[in-house]
Amino acid sequence: MTTRELVLFDLDGTLTDSAPGIMESVQYAYAQLGIEAPDTDTLRAFVGPPLHVSSARHGVPASQYEEFLRQYRVKFTDGGMLNNSVYPGIVELLDTLTARGMPMAVATSKPEKYARQILEHFELAHYFRFIAGATMDGTRSAKADVIEHCLASLTPLSGQLPGAGRILMVGDREHDVNGARLHGIDTVGVSWGYALPGELLEHGALAVIDKPQELLDLV
């Protein structure tokens, strides 16, 4: 087994169960635009991918996306962001990895500003050397771009980074697997997030774990 020297964590669906707040914010945005909102299962699919990708797939015209995003953020910043919870076992996992001296960072497609606020609210921010996310204007939102930003930001903080084979991504969606692969990084998937059955292994996840503590055997 490869010894890892850096672990990158996704946020939504991996560290926290953010679906309730995201779904209510998406539903609010649809209502403000006068567009019928998708069903609950489809709303859950908005958790993880960049918002412009999901909205385009589910009936929001490109010409209305900017207003959709604005209305989404109205609801998200007015409580939706913190309609969220840390998954059981995550704090214990992060405590153990910290005690082992494992460097950790966050790489999420959520805007970096919001990711920091959420992690600070749930008292998780101190575990991570850097919290990388999307830009507010969406110019950086794809997971591969976020990982690139994360690694570039870690270099001046941590010195020379380990090679890609010594880095591990932990996430719950295909976007995590695919984005990490573009950098030569393996991904361990988590079953408690928002992936469809078989999604993570189908896209090349190294393994899928059912409990946070199982990650300890893979790093």
Domain with residue 50: its CATH number is: 1.10.150.240
CATH of the domain at 188: 3.40.50.1000
On whether the CB atoms of residues 46 and 24 are closer than 8 A, the answer is no
62, part of any domain = yes
Cα separation of 12 and 19, whole Å?
Answer: 8
Q: What is the pLDDT of residue 160?
A: 83
Q: Give the residues of the chain that fall short of pLDDT 50.
A: none
Say how many C-beta atoms besides its own lie within 10 A of residue 68's C-beta: 21
Cα separation of 48 and 193, whole Å?
Answer: 9
Q: What is the pLDDT of residue 30?
A: 97
SS3 202: helix
Burial 24-36 (b: 16+ CB within 10 A, else e): bbbbbbbeebebe
Q: What is the pLDDT of residue 44?
A: 86
23, part of any domain = yes
Does residue 135 share a domain with residue 75? no
166, part of any domain = yes
Q: What is the pLDDT of residue 145?
A: 97
Instruction: Report pLDDT digits (tens) over 78-108.
Output: 988 999 999 999 999 999 999 999 999 999 9
* Number of separate domains in the chain: 2
Q: Which residues are catalytic?
A: 10
Q: What is the pLDDT of residue 138?
A: 86
Does residue 123 share a domain with residue 213? yes
Does residue 191 share a domain with residue 88? yes
Q: What is the pLDDT of residue 1?
A: 66
Does residue 206 share a domain with residue 157? yes
Tokens representing 91 are: 């704090």
Does residue 214 share a domain with residue 180? yes
Its domain, for residue 54, covers 19-82
SS3 209: strand
What secondary structure letter does DSSP report for 10? -
First to last CA, the chain: 8
Does residue 88 share a domain with residue 55? no
1, part of any domain = no
On whether the CB atoms of residues 56 and 69 are closer than 8 A, the answer is no
pTM of the model: 0.90
DSSP codes joined into one string, 92-130: HHHHHHHHTT--EEEEEEEEHHHHHHHHHHTT-GGG-SE
From 56, 82, 108, the end of a domain falls on 82
30, part of any domain = yes
Does residue 127 share a domain with residue 88? yes
DSSP codes joined into one string, 130-186: EEEEE-TTSSS-SHHHHHHHHHHHHHHHHSSPPPGGGEEEEESSHHHHHHHHTTT-E
